[in-house]
Amino acid sequence: MKKLIGPFKQILTLAGLALKGALKDDDMQIIPYGGVLVENGLIIAVDDFERLRKANSSAQIEEIEGDHVLLPGFVDCHTHICFAGSRAKDYAMRIQGKSYLDIAKAGGGIWDSVTQTRAADEALLTELLLQRVNRHLSEGVTTIEVKSGYGLETHSELKQLRVIAEASTQTKASLVPTCLAAHMVPKDFSGNQTEYLSYVFHDLLHVIKHDNLSNRIDIFIEESAFNPDTAAVYLNRAKLMGFDITIHADQFTTGGSAVAVKLGAVSADHLEASKDAEIKLLANSDTIAVVLPGASLGLGMQYAPARKLLDAGACLAIASDWNPGSAPMGDLLTQAAILSAAEKLNTAETFAGLTYRAAKALKFDDRGILAPGMRADMQAYNCNDYREILYQQGKMKPIKVWGSNK
């Protein structure tokens, strides 16, 4: 049955905006006193509310009382929220000035999360994941990428991916699983980088493909993880199996984004260390530049050069990197609002990076815009001017979220 939702003081459809490069606020389509006609989880029409009501007299009405602004649901295209345990000790050490090596020697770092996640059973991991997913959903995030990478051996990586699949059946958010078995070489593996990635390829990727647990592969290219040449061999083999690839790139040192562009990765994520050469490469490619302000806030380091990426012509997405170590906040809107102030991203560029451009980083063309044929993933804010949302820097949250996963 058709449902008419509204009226809204303003509807920001984000329709008709460019996929790449800088945007202007004046280019945003704003429908005053608008409504959205929905059927079977898809948008049928977005128009003046009274016009839609007269033309669809048999439609069920979901009346919105008071002044509200409607946006597409946010898309978080980079998270690590399937994990057990806490790394509050790491954070306390970091703000005391301890280095990554100091923290690792004290038993912290990624390996701490691996140990705790390996020890958790599927029921506990599912419960913890759903808590985070549903918090994200309540804050307007309707599509969420979720990585493995805290298992680092076949059984535990498969456990994480099965948990993501199970959680997806219990929420209105849309979950997108990504295999990040190439997060680091685990401490209990006796071989080198090449040998570990060969193990992952032979013992894990074929099972993932057979069981349809993920069609995305990620790798961390960094001095502390995998070098560009070794990573490229692994990624090429994964591509030949039919996996889409994405890369943790240029977080502390450069090299990852060049691999991403060369191999045609869907996205290159982080980019805090990217310089002019890397920015130019990304801007002249189809690889989405995904910036992660949550990691900059958590680690106390510089932001990715978001303004330069946009001005160069890149497609820029904004994601949370929500994880137990470097980005524990997980509040996507707050992070984006802070990034927009620091990097001088206007409202159109910020919302585009949280919606249809982020959807492109997951190869989705059916969300992130309020238009006929798109998923009815939407969020409403209790205000009469869309500019209030970023102005409140994350303190204003949606009062109503519509997710169409069910």
Q: What percent helix, strand, coil does the chain show, rounded to 5?
A: 40, 20, 40
For residues 390 and 290, give the distance between their C-alpha atoms in angstroms, rounded to a whole number: 20
Calculate the average pLDDT of the chain.
97
E strand intervals along 204-357:
216-220, 244-249, 267-270, 288-291, 316-318
pLDDT digits (tens, 9 = 90+) for 159-212: 999 999 999 999 999 999 999 999 999 999 999 999 999 999 999 999 999 999
pLDDT category, 107, cuts 50, 70, 90? confident
For residues 89 and 106, give the distance between their C-alpha atoms in angstroms, rounded to a whole number: 10
Tokens read off for 139: 């804050």
Give the pLDDT score at 102.
87
pTM, entire model: 0.97
Contact 30, 11 (CB under 8 A): yes
pLDDT digits (tens, 9 = 90+) for 268-309: 999 999 999 999 999 999 999 999 999 999 999 999 999 999
Contact 340, 302 (CB under 8 A): no
At residue 249, what are phi and psi to the nearest 5 degrees? -130, 140
Half-sphere exposure of 69 (CA within 13 A, CB side): 19
pLDDT digits (tens, 9 = 90+) for 116-151: 999 999 999 999 999 999 999 999 999 999 999 999
Query: How many beta carbons lie within 10 A of that of residue 131, not counting itself?
Result: 12
Pick from 20, 14, 15: nearest CA to 315: 20
**List of domains in the chain:** 3-72+368-402 (2.30.40.10), 74-360 (3.20.20.140)
If 0-12 CB within 10 Å is exposed, 13-18 middle and 19+ buried, where does residue 256 land?
Answer: buried
pLDDT category, 406, cuts 50, 70, 90? low
Is a pLDDT exceeding 60 seen at residue 15?
Answer: yes
At residue 126, what are phi and psi to the nearest 5 degrees? -65, -45
Give the pLDDT score at 338.
98
Alpha helices in 139-270 (DSSP H): 154-168, 193-200, 206-211, 228-240, 256-263
Give the pLDDT score at 404.
82
* pLDDT average, residue stretch 359-367: 98
* pLDDT average, residue stretch 55-80: 97
At residue 189, what are phi and psi to the nearest 5 degrees? -100, 130
pLDDT digits (tens, 9 = 90+) for 227-248: 999 999 999 999 999 999 999 9
* pLDDT average, residue stretch 383-405: 96
Distance of CA 164 to the CA centre of its chain: 15
Contact 178, 216 (CB under 8 A): yes
